[in-house]
Amino acid sequence: MKTLQTMLASAIVVTATLAAPFAAAHASLKSSDPAANAVLAVAPKVIALTFNEKVEQAFSSITLTDAGGQVVAGADKTKATVDEANPAILRLVLPQLPAGSYTVGWAVAGHDGHRRKGDFTFTVK
């Protein structure tokens, strides 16, 4: 009986150890174009965010606000889309942006269903 209990306890420990990385895995931002804190001579036409795992289209978004905190006109009429070739990339097509500072806000859900949010700024000269 003691051997059975030891084997069961060992199996539980091994299972918990192997499952831990999967439980902690959430979509996180790996890179962005434009990059965070970038100062650009030319306004971008698209915001592209690359995550460490595929993101779910229905639960993912990008918003662009100006220095006054207002959603940029034109960017509010377009939805962010997941790249068909690489579902870890989320893109938002932008209107023509004048010079100024902008904040990119993003929210995504990965395969585990957990929603993550973040933001960063960039400037157009």
Give the model's pLDDT for residue 97. 98
What domains, with CATH codes, occur in the chain?
Answer: 26-124 (2.60.40.1220)
Instruction: Measure the CA–CA gap between 102 and 30, rounded to whole angstroms.
Output: 20
- Model confidence over 36-64: pLDDT tens digits? 999 999 999 999 999 999 999 999 999 99
pTM of the predicted structure, to 2 decimals: 0.79
